[in-house]
Amino acid sequence: MKICVAGAAGAFGMKHLDALAKIDGVEVTSVVGRKLDAITEFAKARNIAHATTDLGEALARDDVDAVILSTPTQMHASQAIQCMKAGKHVLVEIPMADNLADSQELVAVQKQTGKIAMAGHVRRFNPSHQWIHNKITAGEIAIQQMDVQTYFFRRKNINAAGNPRSWTDHLLWHHACHTVDLFQYQTGEDISEVYGVQGPKHPELGIALDMSIIMKTPSGALCTLSLSFNNDGPLGTFFRYICDNGTWIARYDDLVDGREQPIDLSGVAVSNNGIELIDREFIAAIREEREPNGSVAQCLPAMEVLDSIEKMMSE
């Protein structure tokens, strides 16, 4: 399997490169970056044969079967569509787009081309959330409420590695997207009620740095989501699952019960790295010619909810 990684030198591009190195039968043959000198040096250091600033150049190569897009959010939909129309399978980092119309077009092009198109909804794959999902599907627990906090300190355009960004991140279309999709995935239901409010917009970034969202499913499960780019630590996203038969707290790839006792996740998946697991699913879906968990079609309902929240907040 020959893979191109676009945005390879970014924080998540490097996470994907590290993950792909652990998967048998996979070779990264091309990387795409913003500056030619920098991406050329990057490729040389990692023994990758081809480097370019032009995604189209990489897509024209015979030694590229599929693409992982770790590029700016605003480029996700157009680049994913470009990949599929060039005959390549694509895994696009979350979110697949920053609006509903582009998300719908992306799903439509996937249906037209028949290529594998997967969105990087990594929460579906984190062992902590997989453990909860397995309990739910086995009928052992049911969610009564999810209480989620997504907190960062980002009053400037910086990425997960603390380096300057050329684009602006977004609490709603990126960070809330994780939880909206996970809530629907874990409950197995669509969201029937939703309400969102946001704080004032940052004068330079042009986005709200604080946001609160409440969701409900038809069965009565609730989700309360608090998001902030104003929080000066601790940083990250923390999920409290309040269930009919227990309480658990998920912190990325770790899980504890309501009394902070660790849960053994060693048998949940082949790795404790969510990025590696999502890459493994992408590769497996291509090899097995099947729809992946986290396909763009499966993740479209989350984008529909985000669209409704955005309209609500703009009104």
pLDDT by residue, tens only, the chain of 315 residues: 999 999 999 989 999 999 999 999 999 999 999 999 999 999 999 999 999 999 999 999 999 999 999 999 999 999 999 999 999 999 999 999 999 999 999 999 999 999 999 999 999 999 999 999 999 999 999 999 999 999 988 787 666 666 776 666 789 999 999 999 999 999 999 999 999 999 998 888 888 899 999 999 999 999 999 999 999 988 889 999 999 999 999 988 899 999 999 999 999 999 999 999 999 999 999 999 999 999 999 999 999 999 999 999 988
Q: Return the pLDDT at 165.
A: 64
* List of long-range contacts for 86-89, beta carbons under 8 Å, 24+ apart: 86/56, 86/59, 86/60, 87/113, 87/115, 88/4, 88/59, 88/64, 88/115, 89/65, 89/115, 89/116, 89/117, 89/282, 89/286
Instruction: List where CATH 3.40.50.720 sits in the chain.
Output: 2-122+275-293
Q: Return the pLDDT at 169.
A: 78
Instruction: List where CATH 3.30.360.10 sits in the chain.
Output: 126-268
CB under 8 Å to 125, separation ≥6 — which residues? 269, 274, 277, 278, 281, 293, 294
Here the tokens at position 44 are 């040389």
Fold of the domain spanning 126-268: Dihydrodipicolinate Reductase; domain 2 (3.30.360)
The answer to whether 39 touches 32, Cβ cutoff 8 Å, is yes
Q: Return the pLDDT at 159.
A: 63
Q: Where are the alpha helices (DSSP H) in 46-85?
A: 55-59, 76-85
Pairing between strand 27-32 and 2-6? parallel
Fold of the domain spanning 2-122+275-293: Rossmann fold (3.40.50)
Q: Return the pLDDT at 42.
A: 97
pTM exceeds 0.85 for this model: yes
